[in-house]
Amino acid sequence: MSKFEKKIIIRTIRYEDIDEIVELGKLCFPNMDPWKRQQLISHLEIFPEGQFCVELDGEIIGSCSSLIINFDEYDDQHTWDEITDEGYITNHDSEGYNLYGIEVAVHPDYRRMKIGRRLYEARKELAREMNLKSIIIGGRIPNYRRYSEEMSPRQYVEEVMNHNVFDPVLTFQVMNGFTLKRVNRNYLEDDAASMKYATLMEWNNVDYRPTTKRHFKTAFPVRICAIQYMMKKIDSFDEFAQQCEYYADVGASYQSDFVVFPEIFTTQLLSFIEEKSPSRAIRRLTDFTEDYINLFTDLAIKYNVNIIGGSHFVEEEGGIYNIAYLFRRDGTIEKQYKIHITPNERRFWGIQGGDSVEVFDTDCGKIAIQICYDIEFPELGRIATEKGANIIFTPFCTDDRQGYLRVRYCSQARAVENQVYTMITGTVGNLTHVENMDIQYAQSGIFTPSDFAFPRDGIVGECHPNIETVVVGDVDLELLRRSRKSGNVTQWKDRRHDLYRVEQHLKNETT
C-alpha cells in the first residue's frame, strides 16, 4: 500500500528551505513583495522555534513566521514594519507574553486541504509549550477592495464576522478561534487588495499560567569584573593557574556575574618556553589548550562566576586561531573566533580569522565577545545587537597608547550607536623573554550608552592605566531596555532600514 501513501509533515523551517519558501511567497502573494533571503535567515537565527512549514512528499506547500513580543509596548495602530522590525524580527523578546504571527502562506494548488489550519495549530501548540498569554495576528482583508465603495473597513469586517460576506483570510481566522481587537490602517504598505487595512485578531491561551519571571522588573543588575592582567615572567603552568585563580576569587568575592581576562594573556606561558621563532612558539603554546580549558572550567564552577577567559591561540585542522572562550558557571563552554586579524598577528604568528559573529545565552542575558581588533569594525557590533546582545565584551592586547585608544574609542562608539553596554580589558607589564610580546598598554573600562539614565561620561568604571588591578561595575539590563524604548535618543529604534542594513553572510553561502 505504500505506493498510495502521501507523507505530510509539519516541522520547523531549516536553512536549506529558504529558497523554496521565497518561491512559495511569490506564488501566494504575486502582487506583494516576497520574503528576502536575509529576512528568513534572521528568523532562523533569532527565533527558529516560531517558524513552521508543511511538507508534502518532500515539497514545501505552506509556511508561517512569528516572533514573541510584549504587545503592550506597541502602539495600537502599529504597522507590519514596526511590529516585525521590517520583517527581520530583531525586536523578538524571548521574555514576552504574546506570540505575533506575521505571515501564513499556502501554495495555491493545495488550498482547501486545511494546510493553513495545520500551521495555526502548530502556533497554538507552541504558545502552550512556551506558556504564552495569547497569539496576535494582523490579518489581511483581501476582498475588501470589492466592497470599499459601499462599506467602511469596520462595516466590512462586521459583515464578514456576521457571515454575510466571505473573506478568505478573516473568515478563516474567525473559524480558528480568533477574536477581533481592532482595525488598523496603513498596516501593510503593498497590500493593495486590502487597501492597506488589516484586522488585529487574538487567540487567548486558556492554559496560560502567570509566572513570576514575567513580572515587571524594576532593575536587572549585572556585575562585571574586568582583570587588568600583569604580563610578567613565570616558570610553570601551575604558576599561571595560581594567578588566574586569584583573580577568579577576587571577582567572586565582589559577587560578580562575569570575570573577564584580556586577549592572548596566555602568551605569558611563553616566558618559560625556550623558542625564539614567534611562529613556532605560538604552535607550542597551543599545546596548553586542554590545560587552559580545564583550568577555567573548574574556576567558573568553583567560584560560581561566568568567566570570559580572555583569548588563547588554538590549533584547529592545521590552522592557528585566536579564540575567546566563555566558561559559564554551570560548566558549559562557548567560543568566539577573532574575525579580523591584525597585520602583526598575520606576519609574526600566521593567525587565521574566524567567520561568524556569535551571541551567547547566559543567566544574565545575551552577550557577545569581540576580540580587540574586531571592536573596530562597527558592522560586528550591529550584527551582535541584532542577535540580542546586551553586553559586548572586548578582551584586548595593545602595545601603545594609540592602539589602546582605537579599542577604547570604538568600544564607546559601539555602546552609543547600538545602545548596549561594552567593556574592554587589557594586558599590562612586559614579557622581556618573548618575541613580539615585549610591551603592553591598557586602561580597562566598562562603558554605557550616552543618555541621562546613564553615567554622565558613559563610563561605569575604569582602571588607572598600566598597573595590575581590576575594575568592578554594575550595568542594568532593565534600564537599557527602557532606554531603547523611550530614551532621549533612540538610535537603535531609529535606524533607517529603508536606506541601509548590515547583513551577515552564512559560511560558504552568498546572500
Which residue numbers are catalytic?
Answer: 263, 338, 372
Let me know: does 445 contact 462? Beta carbons within 8 Å: yes
Residue ranges in 202-311 assigned as alpha helix (H): 237-253, 278-285, 289-302
Q: What whole-number distance in Å separates Cα of residue 495 and Cα of residue 380?
A: 16
| DSSP code per residue over 166-218 | --TTHHHHHHTT-EEEEEESS-STT-TTTTT-EEEEEEE-TT----GGGSPPS
Element (H, E) at 67: strand 59-69
Element (H, E) at 49: none
| Grid coordinates given for 225 | 569584573
Strand 198-204 and strand 52-56: the pairing is unpaired
Helix (H, G, I), strand (E, B) or coil at 362: strand
Q: What whole-number distance in Å separates Cα of residue 134 and Cα of residue 490?
A: 29
Q: What whole-number distance in Å separates Cα of residue 368 and Cα of residue 308?
A: 10
Q: How far is CA 310 from CA 149, 258, 307, 322, 426, in A?
A: 67, 12, 9, 10, 9
For 53, residues 6+ apart whose C-beta sits below 8 A from its C-beta are 10, 11, 12, 13, 17, 21, 60, 62, 63, 64
| DSSP code per residue over 408-432 | HHHHHHHHHHHT-EEEEEEEEE--T
Q: What share of the chain is helix, strand, coil (3-state, %, to 5)?
A: 35, 25, 40
Number of neighbours of residue 178 by Cβ within 10 angstroms: 23
Instruction: Give bridge partners of residue 393 from the DSSP assignment.
Output: 369, 423
For 356, residues 6+ apart whose C-beta sits below 8 A from its C-beta are 337, 339, 504, 507
